[in-house]
Chains A and B, each alone.
Chain A
Amino acid sequence: AQKITQTQPGMFVQEKEAVTLDCTYDTSDQSYGLFWYKQPSSGEMIFLIYQGSYDEQNATEGRYSLNFQKARKSANLVISASQLGDSAMYFCAMRGRVSNDYKLSFGAGTTVTVRA
């Protein structure tokens, strides 16, 4: 069974500062993947970034980067130079195999509020 833990229910960050969102996971699989999604107040789910367990480098995508520490089973999302539009809920998710496909298991999410 896989489990995703996001321990920060809510965070405040000042505009233009960086913020780190924690995500730890538990899996017995050797090959797995981690996704981060953003959910603004409008409700849609927006894919941000992906990290594979065998990727040699930490993933980056614009202002988003992943601090992937495999031995510690953590995949923290770093948002640099926060903007007001970054205010949203952020979900960490892990890919797991099912019989003929894969599924994503999600953490409970972290709400980020960016202050001007």
Chain B
Amino acid sequence: NAGVTQTPKFQVLKTGQSMTLQCAQDMNHNSMYWYRQDPGMGLRLIYYSASEGTTDKGEVPNGYNVSRLNKREFSLRLESAAPSQTSVYFCASRMDRGPRSPLHFGNGTRLTVT
């Protein structure tokens, strides 16, 4: 089973360039999330989508936009990349709203902005 698939795995951008990080899950999960991981800071929530057609801001949404294209796909867009957005980005999904339901993560996208 593929689970949560993120593309690309690695990306280098110049300051001011734009790009979209893709995420797709094949587990029929309702909720999807974008996190960023920085050294010494754990993972921080950027945006989430509780269901198809809805998106909401997390802790660190500035500089990002998202689209929940359908139930399977949740993309993250950087309109004008900045060096502060150099990070590892994780997409995750969750089946339902039960409290014990864990997040299932993709393998991450390592983004460098120069």
Contact = CB atoms under 8 A, between A and B. Distances in A.
Interface of A: 4, 9, 31, 33, 35, 37, 42-45, 47, 50, 52, 91, 93, 95, 98-109
Interface residues of B, number: 28
Contacts of A103: 33, 45, 48, 58
Contacts of B19: none
Interface of B: 31, 33, 35, 40-45, 48, 50-51, 54, 56, 58, 88, 90, 92, 97, 99-100, 102-108
A35 B50 CA distance: 19
Contacts, number: 63
Contact of A108 (B40, B45, B48, B97): B40
28 contacts: A31-B99, A33-B100, A35-B102, A37-B105, A42-B107, A43-B107, A43-B108, A44-B105, A44-B106, A44-B107, A45-B43, A45-B92, A45-B105, A47-B102, A47-B104, A52-B100, A98-B56, A100-B50, A100-B56, A101-B31, A101-B50, A103-B45, A103-B58, A106-B42, A106-B43, A107-B42, A108-B40, A108-B41
